[in-house]
Structure formats: structure tokens, C-alpha cells
């Protein structure tokens, strides 16, 4: 009898306050088929609702974060079938997650994989990571936000250069143009992402959530609207116990203990 196949997405709790979602289709370079997309969305929703988790890491394996949407699964699909699959909802699940999501990227983050990383809030990449939007080479365009998020991250001219040629982007180039938060040795990527997630998990979850909301909503708004949102958010935090605890801890020269109240 053959052993049951491992789930294509695994959910783990590597440290206090930290959830980790691991894409697990090594034979297909972690290509994002429908099952993977649905499971990522399910785990993210559950972790987003779980008060014991304050920051989430999304990762793949040493060869691939994700090599894009599953080309074999969509090669024969028509318009209505693509519509019915509703895969665009996955991306909304991530940006709608109130908690920060850190992409820990080793190997290839291509097409939908690059878009998945860009939907996260922080990107930690290994030195050997390769990003890119190669859809142009297979006769389509990015469909998970690449034509919108890449120019917002790196500017029009770099984005056009990579979207129109499909050339891969080295970790160093990605970092230089603002697509990566931090580069570390390949073997350190997951460890570093978990350590950063733990650091964030120790902050006030109320303040963390407000920062994510202000940054994401502010990027879609005018400066004036974004600043007004920020002002309301900081004023609101003065009703929290975490604000009182954080400032008292500073004055008493001790480490603050935040409860999210």
C-alpha cells in the first residue's frame, strides 16, 4: 500500500505568535494549482482569525517559492472556466489578512509566485532567489496583480523592462530596485523570516494591524486621505491598554508586555 500523499500546503507554528504556511509541491516547482491556492487562502483565513497568531510567514522550499500558476492546469481552459475558478480571490485573502504576512523566498518566485510574494507585506529573499513575470513568454500577461504591484514597487521603467521581456530578476537586482525587504544567505531565509515574525509578534497587535491598514489603504489614496487615516489610527490607539503599557514600560526601563487590548 502506498503512503498517502503529503498535503500540497502545510500549516505550522514554528514559534510563539507565529504561523507558517509552506507550499509543498516540490515536483512541480511549487506551481500554484487550484488546490494550493485554496489551501493557502484557508490557512491564511484561519491564522488571521486566531488570536494566538500575530504574524505569518509564507514560504516554499529550497528550489522554489512558487514557479507561477500551474501552466498544465490552465493550458486548455477557456474564458468562462478561468472566471469560474475565481483564483483572483486568493490575492484578496492575503491583502485582507489583518496580520502581517512575510514571504520567505528561496529559488524561483515567478509569475503568480512573484505576485504572491508581492501581495505579502515583507519579502525576505535568499541570495540565489530569482524573481520575474515571465508570462509574456507563454502568450499571456500577469493575472495576479503583477502589472499593478510591480510598477508600484519598483517604478514604471524597471517594471516595463521586466514585464515586457520576461527576464528573470536576481535577488540583488530585486533588492536594489525595492522589490525585496532583505537578502540573506539561502540557508538562513526561513530562520530570518521566523525571527522577524517573532519580533513583530511581540509588538502590540493593535498597532501592528493599524500600520498594515494605514500603509495598504494609504497607497491607494491621496496623501491627504492617507495622513488623515493615520491620524485617526494613532488617536484611536490612545484608548488601548497596549499604549499605556508601552509608554509605562519605557519610563520604568523594562520590556513591554502587549496583550492586544
Dihedrals phi, psi of 223, to nearest 5 degrees: -60, -40
Site mask for ligand CO8 (CB under 6 A), range 87-106, x = bound: xx------------------
Catalytic residue among 112, 126, 132, 144: 112
Q: Which stretch binds ligand CO8 (CB under 6 A): 54-62, 109-117, 179-187, 201-209?
A: 109-117
135 has catalytic annotation: yes
Set of cell numbers at residue 181: 525587504
Cβ distance to ligand CO8 smaller for residue 136 or 233: 136
Q: State whether the Cα torsion 108-13-124-153 is positive or negative.
A: positive
CB of 82 to ligand CO8, least distance (A): 5
182 has catalytic annotation: no
Which residues are within 8 A (CB) of 205 and not within 5 positions of it... i.e. 6 or more apart? 54, 99, 242, 258, 260
- The Cα 224–Cα 132 span in angstroms is 34
Q: Which stretch binds ligand CO8 (CB under 6 A): 37-45, 54-62, 67-75, 96-104?
A: 67-75
115 has catalytic annotation: yes
Q: Is 114 in a helix, a strand, or coil?
A: helix
Site mask for ligand CO8 (CB under 6 A), range 171-200, x = bound: ------------------------------
CB of 140 to ligand CO8, least distance (A): 6
Contact in structure between 67 and 29 (CB atoms under 8 Å):
yes
Q: Is 204 in the site for ligand CO8 (CB under 6 A)?
A: no
173 has catalytic annotation: no
- The Cα 186–Cα 92 span in angstroms is 29
Q: Of the candidates 21, 41, 67, 109, which one interacts with ligand CO8 according to CB under 6 A?
A: 67
Nearest of 14, 10, 9, 11 to residue 197 by alpha carbon? 14
Q: Per DSSP, what are the bridge partners of residue 198?
A: none
Catalytic residue among 31, 64, 69, 104: 69
CB of 190 to ligand CO8, least distance (A): 20
Q: Is 69 in the site for ligand CO8 (CB under 6 A)?
A: yes
Contact in structure between 68 and 112 (CB atoms under 8 Å):
yes
**Cα–Cα distances in angstroms (integers) from residue 228 to residues 28, 67, 211, 215, 221, in the given order:** 46, 40, 13, 12, 10
Q: Catalytic site residues?
A: 69, 112, 115, 135
Give residues in contact with ligand CO8 (CB under 6 A).
28-29, 31, 67-72, 82, 87-88, 108, 110-112, 134-135, 138, 142-144
Amino acid at each position: 500500500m502506498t503512503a498517502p500523499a503529503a498535503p500540497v500546503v502545510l500549516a505550522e507554528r514554528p514559534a510563539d505568535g507565529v504561523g507558517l504556511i509552506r507550499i509543498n509541491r516540490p515536483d512541480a516547482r511549487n506551481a500554484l494549482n487550484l488546490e494550493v491556492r485554496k489551501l493557502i487562502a484557508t490557512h491564511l483565513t484561519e491564522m488571521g482569525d486566531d488570536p494566538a497568531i500575530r504574524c505569518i510567514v509564507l514560504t516554499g522550499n529550497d528550489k522554489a517559492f512558487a514557479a507561477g500558476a500551474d501552466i498544465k492546469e490552465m493550458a486548455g481552459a477557456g474564458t468562462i472556466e478561468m472566471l469560474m475558478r475565481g483564483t483572483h480571490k486568493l490575492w484578496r485573502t492575503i491583502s485582507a489578512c489583518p496580520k502581517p504576512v512575510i514571504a520567505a523566498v528561496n529559488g524561483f518566485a515567478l509569475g503568480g509566485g512573484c505576485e504572491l510574494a508581492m501581495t505579502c507585506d515583507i519579502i525576505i529573499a535568499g541570495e540565489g532567489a530569482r524573481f520575474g513575470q515571465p508570462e509574456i513568454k507563454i502568450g499571456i500577461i500577469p493575472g495576479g496583480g503583477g502589472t499593478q504591484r510591480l510598477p508600484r514597487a519598483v517604478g514604471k521603467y524597471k517594471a516595463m523592462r521586466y514585464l515586457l521581456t520576461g527576464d528573470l530578476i536576481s535577488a540583488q537586482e530585486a533588492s536594489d530596485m525595492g522589490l525585496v525587504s532583505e537578502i540573506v544567505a539561502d540557508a538562513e531565509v526561513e530562520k530570518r523570516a521566523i525571527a522577524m515574525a517573532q519580533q513583530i509578534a511581540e509588538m502590540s497587535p493593535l498597532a501592528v494591524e493599524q500600520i498594515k491598514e494605514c500603509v495598504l489603504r494609504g497607497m491607494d489614496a491621496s496623501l491627504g486621505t492617507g495622513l488623515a487615516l493615520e491620524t485617526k489610527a494613532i488617536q484611536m490607539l490612545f484608548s488601548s491598554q497596549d499604549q499605556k503599557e508601552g509608554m509605562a514600560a519605557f519610563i520604568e526601563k523594562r520590556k513591554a508586555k502587549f496583550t492586544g487590548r
